[in-house]
């Protein structure tokens, strides 16, 4: 069994093409930036016959060249992906084999884009995203990892090996090394991106790591938003002592260096004392409060309906909350086992709590600022004159009108939560050391970084692409929402 | 102005007290103290022995009193053994109980003794701060001018190609946390297996002698993450200034674009980034810890990791106090600077 080369047979054609196109692309971009300081800008000239003509000059020429080269570059990349999927395993090298593993992700991604672009006029702000190249790239990157995580975590596809199994002889081996004993060219016969220092498959660990990240980061952000909104709205709307006190607390948390907080909170001793469990009990109750107040303020004029709705919501969310907080072997263990739906492992819970805790003060400040701004608007005054209660105004008048900045910040904040999660992993805090999440994998690989870079480089690039996707998505959303 | 200053400083002291108390409380929880006792006396001691050791050394007093002792506003703990020998917090082994000072906390300059390094905390912290200071000096030298230039270039013509390219570039750098860019840089520039092999993957030698080879990568790694953020703030501030009335007036007067940017816009556009740069310090501290760990540079951040990893309570407290103070003082400078730089607030 031979080791795989990077690009296999197709590399003979595609590699020189990629080299030439990307080289020209970079030259053109630099040229464009330099020229933009000197050359006259592109203007539109209207002709006598009623047509409009772009007066480009040299700058316009370069701009056209950049656009053409961008499409050429995309075509080469698509050629790599398609050849990998179409050709038999191994013929297109490591890159081809990796793309073959990602086949379901590529299909889902293409499907999502086609459907979204066809119906984009009917999809509101989400549809407008597809008018914006930056936003589309960001959305593509994010959805790539979301699909990867779902296929790997739920359906156990994509990954070629178990993330924890070790194959002797493959310790720190370079990408494309064949697995001893495999004799058929098929998925699983190679360590596609090499082996790590415990002879595990780097590629499979990266894939399974995405599931952990995609689960924790958005959920922690949702909880942080619930805390921030539930406290920030009344602070901004009422002001006064409540606002002063809460703002002081928020500033207190914000003045705390994040790393120090992590080192103090996320330790086995701290889990032993039960402080994270108490913090979880406090922080996780906010979604419950939020939902109840939201519905109560809406339906309190129809008491019969309100009671039914509140009872149902309280029942469902209450059980979820109790089983989330209740934990075997910690200080909070009061529920009978039949009512405890699920258990979050202690390590993950403390990671979750600390990410929520670090993020909520910033969201509190944003929401408070937005509420202070919006409460001076006419429609709020109109609602007050109508005799609506303060909570109705906050949750049904102010909050919907603050959604634009909040959605943008939500995307950014998921990226930030991913970075924080990686930081925790990088210092070996919280998650177990064999966990395949990206931060822990980078931490495991950094010891021999200068000799065997691939075990740390692969998760690093994965994390970078996901956070970059979220940032680009947020930028695209901001631009499109400003156009309204 | 004086009133404003006084209220800011008062809030700052209150915040500092709250934060140090939280740190004190979290580092002195009973499992941590138990670990200290076990590391001093050996792992196999019984619970009763742990208890008596903790009692002898004053660890069983109420947390608030111990916090006061550590701060230096409550008289130090003393313990009289059965044979009449007096030991205590402020009493050194070679000193009689009567010669010892009554108070010994951080206010008196007594920062305690590190159990890991077997030296005074103040000495270790000072050394770490010195090394990190060198690192930060170079980071600032790279990051601030770079970010301001990118931000001003992008912001002076909003929506142009330059703006779009530079803005996307700053998004990329803000999306690259230090542990990712560090790994990528080491692979590309320093790996002995692949890459260019131009630079050093470790900054240990930079502690004595800074060279381009051993210091470029750590400085670049920290600078890159903050650069994008500051550049975006500068761009936002610049685009806002460029739409102001007085810029339009200047343009109508026939002032050249270069002069508009350099003489009219730039000064007002740099007020907001100043605050942002100052508020970046807490995040830079994050970066410092990651980069010093990754590049094995034994500065302040590395000390924090060692102290926290080895349950060195006094050292961790010392490091926390310094980092909290750094954060609060930069916030204060940013507030005062904002008022000072902005004539509209300064004069009213």
DSSP A199-264: S-BHHHHHHHHHHHHHHHHHHHHHHHHHHHHHHHHHHHHH-HHHHHHHHHHHHHHHTS-HHHHHHH
CB contact under 8 A, A451 and B193: yes
Bridge partners, A195 (sequence order): A201
* Residue A388, phi then psi, degrees to nearest 5: -70, 150
From B16, which residue of chain A is nearest by alpha-carbon distance? A252
CB contact under 8 A, B23 and A260: yes
Check residue A39 and give its pLDDT.
65
Check residue B292 and give its pLDDT.
92
| Shortest Cα distance, chain A CAs vs residue B70, angstroms | 18
Tokens 């570059």 found at: A73
Dist CA A183 CA A160 (whole Å)? 15
> With DSSP H G I counted as helix, E B as strand and the rest as coil, what are the percentages for chain A, rounded to 5?
70, 5, 25
Check residue A9 and give its pLDDT.
82
CB contact under 8 A, A453 and B187: yes
Strand ranges (E), A170-290: 177-178, 190-191
Count of CA atoms in the C-beta half-sphere (13 A) of A384: 11
Check residue A56 and give its pLDDT.
65
Q: Is the pLDDT of residue B265 over 80?
A: yes
CB contact under 8 A, A252 and B15: yes
Check residue A360 and give its pLDDT.
93
- Residue A189: pLDDT band by 50, 70, 90 thresholds? confident
Q: Give A-chain residues touching B36 at CB under 8 angstroms.
A: none
Mean pLDDT over residues B166-192, rounded? 90
Q: Is the pLDDT of residue B80 over 80?
A: no
Mean pLDDT over residues B140-161, rounded? 88
Mean pLDDT over residues B52-64, rounded? 82
Q: What is the dihedral angle through the alpha carbons of B152, B153, B154, B157, rounded to the nearest 10 degrees?
A: 100
Check residue A371 and give its pLDDT.
93
Check residue A148 and give its pLDDT.
95
- Residue A369: pLDDT band by 50, 70, 90 thresholds? very high
Dist CA B320 CA B69 (whole Å)? 17
CB contact under 8 A, B177 and A36: no
Check residue A52 and give its pLDDT.
74
Measure the N-to-C terminal CA separation of chain A; round to a whole number of Å.
Answer: 59
Q: Quick one: DSSP state of residue B186?
A: I
Give the angle subtended at the CA of B78 by the CAs of B76 and B79, to the nearest 5°: 160
| Shortest Cα distance, chain A CAs vs residue B260, angstroms | 15
The shortest CB-CB distance from B192 to any of A275, A415, A451 is to A451
Query: What is the token pair recorded at A160?
Result: 């070629």
Count of Cβ atoms closer than 10 Å to residue A432 Cβ: 11
3-class secondary structure, B334: helix
Dist CA A91 CA B149 (whole Å)? 48
Check residue A235 and give its pLDDT.
94
CB contact under 8 A, A37 and B194: no
Query: What is the token pair recorded at A296?
Result: 């109560």
Q: Do the beta carbons of residue B197 and residue B158 sit within 8 Å?
A: no
Q: Which of these ranges, A263-272, B175-184, B313-322, has the smallest mean pLDDT? A: A263-272
* Distant-in-sequence, close-in-space partners of A217: CB < 8 Å, separation ≥ 6: A355, A414, A417, A418, A421
| Shortest Cα distance, chain A CAs vs residue B327, angstroms | 6
Dist CA A9 CA A84 (whole Å)? 11
Query: What is the token pair recorded at B270?
Result: 């740099």
Check residue A467 and give its pLDDT.
95
Q: Do the beta carbons of residue B276 and residue B341 sit within 8 Å?
A: no
Mean pLDDT over residues A90-108, rounded? 89
Give A 4-43 residues with CB within 8 A of chain B.
Answer: 29, 32-33, 36-37, 41
Q: Which of these ranges, A42-51, A117-126, B121-130, has the smallest mean pLDDT? A: A42-51
Dist CA B57 CA B51 (whole Å)? 10
Q: Which of these ranges, A27-41, B172-186, B232-246, has the smallest mean pLDDT? A: A27-41
Q: Give A-chain residues touching B26 at CB under 8 angstroms.
A: 264-265, 270, 275
Dist CA A430 CA B79 (whole Å)? 38
Query: What is the token pair recorded at A363?
Result: 């969201």
CB contact under 8 A, A453 and B186: yes
CB contact under 8 A, B179 and A449: no
pTM over 0.95: no
Check residue A430 and give its pLDDT.
81
A363: Cα separation from own chain's centroid: 17
CB contact under 8 A, B308 and A470: no
Q: Is the pLDDT of residue A329 over 70?
A: no
Q: Is the pLDDT of residue B285 over 90?
A: no
Q: Is the pLDDT of residue B348 over 60?
A: no
3-class secondary structure, A262: helix
Q: Is the pLDDT of residue B119 over 80?
A: yes
From A454, which residue of chain B is nearest by alpha-carbon distance? B187
The shortest CB-CB distance from B183 to any of A251, A259, A446 is to A446
CB contact under 8 A, B193 and A452: yes
Higher pLDDT, B199 or B172: B172
Mean pLDDT over residues A315-338, rounded? 78
Interface confidence (ipTM) of the complex: 0.88
Dist CA B175 CA A419 (whole Å)? 8
Dist CA A223 CA A360 (whole Å)? 8
State the Rg of chain B over Cα: 26
What Cα–Cα distance (Å) separates residue B255 from each residue in A205, B149, B245?
60, 22, 14
Q: Is the pLDDT of residue A176 over 70?
A: yes
| Shortest Cα distance, chain B CAs vs residue A259, angstroms | 6
Residues in chain A: 484
Dist CA A365 CA A252 (whole Å)? 12
Check residue B32 and give its pLDDT.
82
- Secondary structure in 3-state letters for chain B: CHHHHHHHHHHHHHHHHHHHHHHHHHHCCHHHHHHHHHHHHCCCCCHHHHHHHHHHCCCCCCHHHHHHHHHCCCCCCEEECCCCCEEECCCCCCCCCCCCCCCCCHHHCCCCECCCCCCEHHHHHHHHHHHHHHHHHHHHHHHHHHHHHHHHHHHHCCCCHHHHHHHHHHHHHHCCCHHHHHHHHHHHHHCCCCCCCCCCCCCHHHHCCCCHHHHHHHHHHHHHHHHHHHHHHHHHHHHHHHCCHHHHHHHHHCCCHHHHHHHHHHHHHCHHHHHHHHHCHHHHHHHHHHHHHHCCCCCHHHHHHHHHHCCCHHHHHHHHHHHHHHHHHHHHHHHHHHHHHCHHHHHC
From B324, which residue of chain A is nearest by alpha-carbon distance? A256
Q: Quick one: DSSP state of residue A448?
A: G
> DSSP per residue over B212-266, as a string?
HHHHHHHHHHHHHHHHHHHHHHHHHHHHHHHTSHHHHHHHHHT--HHHIIIIIIH
Tokens 């007093």 found at: B61
**What is the average pLDDT value for chain A, to the nearest integer?**
87
- Residue A42: pLDDT band by 50, 70, 90 thresholds? low
Query: What is the token pair recorded at A478?
Result: 């901001």
Q: How confident is the model over A197-213, as pLDDT tens digits?
A: 888 999 999 999 999 99
- Residue A447: pLDDT band by 50, 70, 90 thresholds? confident
Tokens 């984009």 found at: A120
Dist CA B266 CA B347 (whole Å)? 21
CB contact under 8 A, B293 and A36: no
| Shortest Cα distance, chain B CAs vs residue A338, angstroms | 32
Burial of A257 (0-12, 13-18, 19+ CB in 10 A): buried
Q: Give A-chain residues touching B8 at CB under 8 angstroms.
A: none
Dist CA A240 CA A247 (whole Å)? 11
Mean pLDDT over residues B159-169, rounded? 84
Q: Which of these ranges, A304-313, A406-415, A448-457, B139-148, has the smallest mean pLDDT? A: A448-457
Q: A interface mutation test: which of B179, B240, B305 has the most A CBs within 10 A?
A: B179
Size of interface A-B (CB pairs under 8 A): 153
Nearest to B167 by CA among A372, A475, A277: A475
Mean pLDDT over residues A66-94, rounded? 88
Check residue A142 and give its pLDDT.
95
Nearest to A271 by CA among A216, A222, A332: A332
| Shortest Cα distance, chain B CAs vs residue A233, angstroms | 24
Q: What percentage of chain B has pLDDT greater than the value 70?
A: 97
CB contact under 8 A, B293 and A427: yes
Give A 141-160 residues with CB within 8 A of chain B.
Answer: none
Q: Which of these ranges, A219-228, A317-326, B177-186, has the smallest mean pLDDT? A: A317-326
CB contact under 8 A, B171 and A264: no
**What is the average pLDDT value for chain B, to the nearest integer?**
85
Q: Is the pLDDT of residue B221 over 60?
A: yes
Give A 319-338 residues with CB within 8 A of chain B.
Answer: none
Q: Do the beta carbons of residue A438 and residue A425 sit within 8 Å?
A: yes
Dist CA A211 CA A221 (whole Å)? 16
CB contact under 8 A, A32 and B15: no
Tokens 């349950």 found at: B311
Dist CA A427 CA A392 (whole Å)? 44
Residue A257, chain B, CB below 8 Å: the answer is yes
Q: How confident is the model over A394-444, as pLDDT tens digits?
A: 999 999 998 888 999 999 999 999 999 999 999 988 888 888 899 999 999
Q: Do the beta carbons of residue A407 and residue A229 sit within 8 Å?
A: no
Give the angle subtended at the CA of A374 by the CAs of A368 and A376, to the nearest 5°: 115
* Distant-in-sequence, close-in-space partners of A7: CB < 8 Å, separation ≥ 6: A14, A15, A80, A92, A93, A94, A95, A96
Q: Give A-chain residues touching B308 at CB under 8 angstroms.
A: 260, 263-264, 267
Mean pLDDT over residues A146-169, rounded? 89
Q: Give A-chain residues touching B304 at CB under 8 angstroms.
A: 259-260, 263
């Amino acid at each position: 069994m031979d080791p795989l080369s990077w690009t296999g047979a197709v590399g003979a054609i595609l590699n020189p093409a990629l080299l030439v196109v990307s080289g020209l692309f970079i030259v053109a971009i630099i040229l464009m930036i330099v020229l933009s300081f000197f050359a006259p800008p592109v203007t539109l000239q209207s002709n006598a016959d009623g047509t409009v003509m772009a007066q480009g000059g040299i700058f316009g020429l370069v701009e056209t060249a950049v656009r053409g080269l961008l499409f050429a570059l995309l075509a080469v990349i698509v050629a790599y992906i398609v050849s990998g999927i179409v050709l038999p395993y191994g013929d297109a090298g490591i890159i081809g084999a990796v793309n073959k593993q990602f086949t379901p992700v590529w299909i889902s991604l293409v499907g999502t884009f086609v459907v979204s672009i066809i119906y984009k006029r009917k999809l509101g702000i989400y549809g407008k995203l597809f008018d914006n190249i930056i936003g589309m790239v960001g959305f593509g990157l994010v959805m790539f990892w979301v699909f990867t995580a779902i296929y790997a975590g739920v359906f156990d596809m994509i990954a070629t090996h178990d993330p924890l199994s070790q194959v002797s002889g493959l310790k720190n081996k370079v990408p494309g090394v064949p697995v001893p004993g495999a004799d058929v060219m098929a998925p699983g016969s190679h360590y596609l991106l090499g082996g790590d220092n415990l002879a595990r498959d780097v590629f499979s660990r990266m894939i399974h790591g995405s599931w952990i990240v995609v689960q924790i980061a958005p959920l922690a952000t949702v909880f942080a938003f619930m805390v921030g909104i539930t406290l920030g709205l009344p602070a901004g709307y009422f002001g006064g002592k409540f606002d002063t006190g809460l703002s002081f607390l928020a500033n207190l948390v914000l003045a705390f260096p994040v790393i120090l907080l992590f080192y103090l909170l996320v330790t086995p001793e701290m889990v032993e004392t039960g402080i994270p469990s108490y913090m979880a009990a406090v922080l996780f109750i906010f979604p419950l409060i939020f939902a109840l107040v939201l519905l109560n303020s809406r339906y309190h004029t129809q008491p019969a309906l309100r009671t039914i709705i509140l009872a149902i919501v309280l029942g469902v969310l209450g059980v979820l909350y109790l089983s989330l907080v209740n934990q075997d072997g910690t200080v909070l263990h009061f529920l009978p086992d039949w009512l405890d739906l699920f258990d979050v492992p202690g390590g993950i819970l403390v990671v979750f709590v600390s990410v929520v805790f670090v993020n909520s003060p910033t969201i509190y400040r944003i929401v408070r600022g937005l509420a202070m701004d919006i409460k001076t608007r006419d429609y709020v005054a109109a609602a007050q004159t109508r005799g609506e209660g303060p909570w109705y105004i906050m949750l049904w008048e102010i909050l919907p009108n603050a959604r634009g900045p909040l959605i943008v910040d939500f995307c950014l904040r998921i990226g930030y939560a991913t970075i924080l999660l990686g930081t925790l992993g990088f210092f070996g805090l919280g998650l177990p050391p064999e966990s395949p999440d990206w931060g822990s994998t980078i931490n495991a690989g950094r010891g021999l970084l200068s000799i065997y870079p691939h075990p740390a480089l692969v998760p690093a690039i994965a994390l970078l692409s996901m956070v970059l996707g979220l940032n680009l998505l947020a930028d695209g959303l901001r631009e499109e929402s400003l156009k309204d | 102005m004086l009133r404003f200053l006084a209220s800011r400083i008062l809030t700052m002291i209150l915040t500092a007290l709250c934060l140090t108390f939280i740190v004190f409380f979290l580092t002195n929880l009973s499992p941590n103290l138990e670990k200290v006792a076990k590391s001093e006396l050996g792992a196999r001691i019984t619970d009763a022995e742990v208890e008596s050791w903790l009692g002898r050394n004053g660890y069983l007093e109420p947390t608030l009193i111990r916090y006061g002792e550590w701060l230096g506003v409550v008289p130090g703990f003393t313990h009289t053994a059965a044979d009449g020998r007096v030991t205590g917090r402020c009493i050194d082994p070679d000193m009689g109980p009567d010669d010892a000072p009554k108070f010994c906390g951080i206010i008196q300059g007594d920062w305690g003794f590190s159990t890991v390094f077997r030296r005074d905390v103040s000495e270790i912290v000072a050394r770490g701060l010195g090394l990190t200071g060198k690192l930060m000096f170079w980071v600032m030298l790279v990051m601030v001018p770079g970010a301001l230039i990118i931000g001003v270039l992008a912001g002076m013509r909003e929506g142009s190609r330059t703006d779009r390219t530079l803005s996307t570039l700053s998004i990329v750098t803000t999306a690259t946390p230090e542990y990712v860019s560090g790994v990528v840089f080491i692979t590309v520039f320093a790996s002995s297996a692949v890459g260019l092999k131009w630079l050093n993957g470790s900054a240990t030698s930079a502690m004595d002698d800074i060279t381009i080879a051993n210091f470029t990568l750590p400085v670049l790694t920290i600078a890159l993450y903050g650069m994008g953020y500051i550049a975006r703030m500068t761009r936002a501030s610049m685009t806002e200034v460029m739409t102001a009335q007085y810029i339009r007036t200047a343009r109508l007067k026939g002032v050249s674009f270069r002069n508009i940017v350099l003489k009219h816009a730039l000064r007002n556009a740099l007020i907001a980034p100043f605050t942002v740069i100052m508020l970046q310090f807490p995040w830079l501290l994050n970066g410092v810890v990651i980069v010093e760990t990754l590049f094995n540079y034994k500065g302040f951040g590395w000390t924090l990791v060692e102290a926290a990893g080895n349950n060195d309570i006094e050292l961790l407290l010392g490091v926390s106090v310094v980092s909290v103070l750094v954060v609060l003082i930069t916030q204060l400078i940013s507030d005062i600077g904002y008022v000072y730089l902005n004539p509209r607030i300064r004069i009213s």
